[in-house]
Amino acid sequence: MAAQIWGSEKRARRRREISAKIAQMPELHDSKPLPFMTREEKIMESARKLTILTEKMGQIIDPTDPAELYHLNNEVLGLEGNPMALHGVMFIPALSAQASDEQQAKWLPRALRREIIGTYAQTELGHGTNLQNLETTATYDLATQEFVLHTPQITALKWWPGNLGKSSNYAVVVAHMIIKAKNYGPHPFMVQLRDEKTHEPLPGITIGDIGPKMAYNIVDNGFLGFNKYRIPRTNLLMRHTKVEADGTYIKPPHAKINYSAMVHVRAYMLTGQAIMLASALNIATRYSSVRRQGQIDKSQPEVKVLEYQTQQHRLFPSIARAYAFQFAGAETVKLYEHVLKEMKSGNVSLMADLHALTSGLKSVVTYQTGEGIEQARMACGGHGYSMASYISEIYGVAIGGCTYEGENMVMLLQLARYLVKSAALVKSGQSSKLGPLVAYLGVKSEPTSLIDRIPNSGFTEYVKTFQHVSKRQTLKAADMFFGLMEKGEKREIAWNKCSVELNRASRLHTRLFIVEAFVRRVNEIADIRIKEALTDLLHLHVNYELLDIASYALEDGFLSASQLDYIRDQVYLYLGKIRPNAVSLLDSWEFSDIELRSVLGRRDGNVYENLFKWAKSSPLNKTDVLSSVTQYLKPMMEKARL
């Protein structure tokens, strides 16, 4: 199963080898539980481990393999981030995709050797979503052949970029490029922020940390202002766009090609989310098979809480989602790598499809991951609320994904633009022009679902039902939009008035893609036992998801009330079938205790003793009487006694 999850037997084996090596290297372990550290201590601890890793990485992993790097990162540095998180996730990908060969030769080896630390600085205090209204400017000075970066007012301060505040000395900065008073829109520039020897901010740069966040606090998300700060012309990233010495602008082959670093993260973060969901579920499911509370049959002893159907219903559909996200994420990464290769050689024809797909996926996956992790926390009762479970940190980090790389509603609307264009093709009889991801929009569906009517139909009838609801909602939302425009409404106003319906279409389309990715994967599996276990999970997935969106299929009679009852029964049936495999389905992800960082979710199940040990190690328990008591509470009580 681990081979299915991680892509191959070799990958699963390598992960095990890496975890085993790390287990033998105490210098790479947290020196005490992270929840007991202050933010400064955590940042220091992370930097300590990071530098050891830089020295010893080659002994542990193949540093050129991103999957090995990611695993090493999760084990040693953990999900709260590290001082170089953005360096790998965005700075290097931005340079790789957007810098010319010459620029790459100059900067990439230095970045890869970790001579310099970089980040991606785009969002500002006043604008994150609407890139056209970013306010930082890069004005070309013809006389000196330099760009002058400037922050015209407080809202133009860069705000949020990870590791910008304290760790990075370089950044890819996105600024509006102005040449001879003409604004060419947002473009990426390579900018040195700090002196390479002293790490002091360079003159003209104002920089710092934006303060503590809900989670992810090892990362120093930062602010940055420029006061007429000069950089050479050749620091504009020039793979696709060029500015010649005389100010001549050579436009890129696609207007949005400079957005590729965002698409990179949107594609890669899906499996990251799956891992966080599976981690939280691993903790909750293990704990649920240790925790005994109440009886189902009063004549029997107390049961493991995992025996309760409500507990299974809370956890198992999310186990199915974690697998589904991992499989859909793996497909998306493959597609992304393919499109990136094409883009580098000038073929930009697949960019719109990739953008639409990743926009929908990042939104649905992050939202459902958040839901699943929060349910996992509640499934652990009171102990889930303790930082000893570590679920709150996983939750905080995961739901950051609902916001970063494009706020979810906004990204769903990006997919909706693509769906509405596709709907227009269908309506104008040009269905043959539909891309493969939306081809179903042009296919006539049956009048009613045949779920429960065709024995052994596999998942075909389910997929058809998802296709039906997605198609119907897309055409309905598009009709609403076109109808408003026909009535004379301006395009943007009409769009806004339909946006809830449009986003519903985007979610349904994305959920269909996830179901199909899961079906594709299960169909490929040769090993009978693995196929059986995953088929059960897929049954739960399709039935649970369909129940969740049933209103769309009920309202036009595609599904009947009796079919709904059948689907509900299937959910209950598969909850029971999955119960014996539940812990194994999560143990198969092979998270080590070091990586999980959870007292509740330990592999040995020794929860209570370790919770007590953990509590005793709380810094508050170093003394029996705190100074807050001697200084304030004790005098108060004494005064009251007089």
Ligand X SMILES: CCCCCCCC/C=C\CCCCC/C=C/C(=O)SCCNC(=O)CCNC(=O)[C@H](O)C(C)(C)COP(=O)(O)OP(=O)(O)OC[C@H]1O[C@@H](n2cnc3c(N)ncnc32)[C@H](O)[C@@H]1OP(=O)(O)O
Ligand Y SMILES: Cc1cc2nc3c(=O)[nH]c(=O)nc-3n(C[C@H](O)[C@H](O)[C@H](O)COP(=O)(O)OP(=O)(O)OC[C@H]3O[C@@H](n4cnc5c(N)ncnc54)[C@H](O)[C@@H]3O)c2cc1C
**Contact (CB, 8 A) for 494 and 481:** yes
Q: Which of residues 161 and 384 has its CB atom nearest to ligand X in the complex?
A: 161
Binding pattern for the stretch 411-450 against ligand Y, x by CB under 6 A and - elsewhere: --x-------------------------------------
Residue 123 engages ligand Y in binding (rule: CB under 6 A): yes
Question: How far apart, in whole angstroms, are the C-alpha atoms of residue 199 and residue 437?
Answer: 48
**Binding partner selected for residue 121 from ligand X, ligand Y, none, CB under the kind-specific 5 to 8 Å limit:** ligand Y
- Identify the residue among 186, 317, 384, 400 touching ligand Y (CB under 6 A): 400
Q: Which of residues 86 and 549 has its CB atom nearest to ligand X in the complex?
A: 86
**Binding partner selected for residue 355 from ligand Y, ligand X, none, CB under the kind-specific 5 to 8 Å limit:** ligand X
Residue 233: beta bridge partners?
none
Q: Residue 72 is which amino acid?
A: L
Residue 118: beta bridge partners?
170
- Find the shortest distance in angstroms from Cβ 445 to ligand X: 26
**Contact (CB, 8 A) for 216 and 402:** no
Residue 30 engages ligand Y in binding (rule: CB under 6 A): no
**Binding partner selected for residue 263 from ligand Y, ligand X, none, CB under the kind-specific 5 to 8 Å limit:** ligand X
Question: How far apart, in whole angstroms, are the C-alpha atoms of residue 128 and residue 160?
Answer: 9
Q: Which of residues 80 and 452 has its CB atom nearest to ligand Y in the complex?
A: 80
- Find the shortest distance in angstroms from Cβ 262 to ligand X: 5
Residue nearest to ligand Y (CB): 128
Q: Measure the CA angle with vertex 503, ends 221 and 493; round to 5°.
A: 95
**Contact (CB, 8 A) for 605 and 290:** yes
Residue 121 engages ligand Y in binding (rule: CB under 6 A): yes
Q: Residue 510 is which amino acid?
A: T
Residue 116 engages ligand Y in binding (rule: CB under 6 A): no
What one-character DSSP code corresponds to residue 147?
A: E
Radius of gyration of the chain (CA): 27
> 623 a known binding residue?
no
**Binding partner selected for residue 415 from ligand X, ligand Y, none, CB under the kind-specific 5 to 8 Å limit:** none
The pair of structure tokens assigned to 205 is 């740069």
**Contact (CB, 8 A) for 601 and 282:** yes
**Binding partner selected for residue 409 from ligand X, ligand Y, none, CB under the kind-specific 5 to 8 Å limit:** ligand Y
Q: N- to C-terminal Cα distance for the chain? A: 70
- Identify the residue among 225, 396, 406, 601 touching ligand Y (CB under 6 A): 406
Backbone angles phi, psi at 142, to 5 degrees: -60, -35
**Binding partner selected for residue 262 from ligand Y, ligand X, none, CB under the kind-specific 5 to 8 Å limit:** ligand X
What one-character DSSP code corresponds to residue 34?
A: G
Angle between helix axes 499-524 and 528-548 (nearest 10 degrees) is 170
Binding site for ligand X (CB under 6 A): 66-67, 70, 89-90, 120, 122-123, 128-132, 162, 256, 259, 262-263, 265, 268-269, 272, 351-352, 355, 404-406, 410, 414, 417
Active-site residue numbers?
405
- Identify the residue among 223, 404, 418, 544 touching ligand Y (CB under 6 A): 404
- Identify the residue among 128, 247, 381, 605 touching ligand Y (CB under 6 A): 128
What one-character DSSP code corresponds to residue 625?
A: S
Stretch near ligand Y under the rule CB under 6 A, chosen from 36-44, 156-164, 375-383, 541-549: 156-164
Backbone angles phi, psi at 193, to 5 degrees: -105, -35
Residue 352 engages ligand Y in binding (rule: CB under 6 A): no
Q: For residue 308, how many C-alpha atoms fall within 13 Å in the half-sphere facing its CB?
A: 17
**Contact (CB, 8 A) for 234 and 189:** no
What part of residues 162-181 is at the interface with ligand Y (CB under 6 A)? 162
Stretch near ligand Y under the rule CB under 6 A, chosen from 3-11, 64-72, 376-384, 397-405: 397-405
- Identify the residue among 140, 160, 226, 481 touching ligand Y (CB under 6 A): 160
**Contact (CB, 8 A) for 387 and 369:** no
What one-character DSSP code corresponds to residue 261?
A: H
Question: How far apart, in whole angstroms, are the C-alpha atoms of residue 208 and residue 357?
Answer: 35
- Find the shortest distance in angstroms from Cβ 49 to ligand Y: 21
Residue 370 engages ligand Y in binding (rule: CB under 6 A): no
Q: Which of residues 170 and 404 has its CB atom nearest to ligand Y in the complex?
A: 404
**Binding partner selected for residue 67 from ligand X, ligand Y, none, CB under the kind-specific 5 to 8 Å limit:** ligand X
Question: How far apart, in whole angstroms, are the C-alpha atoms of residue 506 and residue 193?
Answer: 40
CA distances from 242 to 44, 96, 234, 245 (A): 41, 16, 9, 10
**Binding partner selected for residue 89 from ligand Y, ligand X, none, CB under the kind-specific 5 to 8 Å limit:** ligand X
Q: Residue 485 is which amino acid?
A: M
Alpha helices in 487-623, H assignment, sequence order:
491-497, 499-524, 528-548, 550-554, 561-578, 582-587, 593-596, 607-616
> 155 a known binding residue?
no
- Find the shortest distance in angstroms from Cβ 89 to ligand Y: 8
- Identify the residue among 25, 69, 335, 409 touching ligand Y (CB under 6 A): 409
Longest Cα–Cα distance of the chain, Å, equals 90
- Find the shortest distance in angstroms from Cβ 286 to ligand Y: 28
- Identify the residue among 91, 107, 120, 140 touching ligand Y (CB under 6 A): 120
- Find the shortest distance in angstroms from Cβ 270 to ligand X: 9
Report which of 508, 573, 561 is spatially closest to residue 536, judged by C-alpha positions.
Answer: 573
Q: Give the interface with ligand Y as residue ranges (CB under 6 A).
A: 86, 120-123, 127-129, 160-162, 216, 221, 400, 403-404, 406-407, 409-410, 413
Q: Which residues are annotated as a binding site for FAD?
A: 123, 162
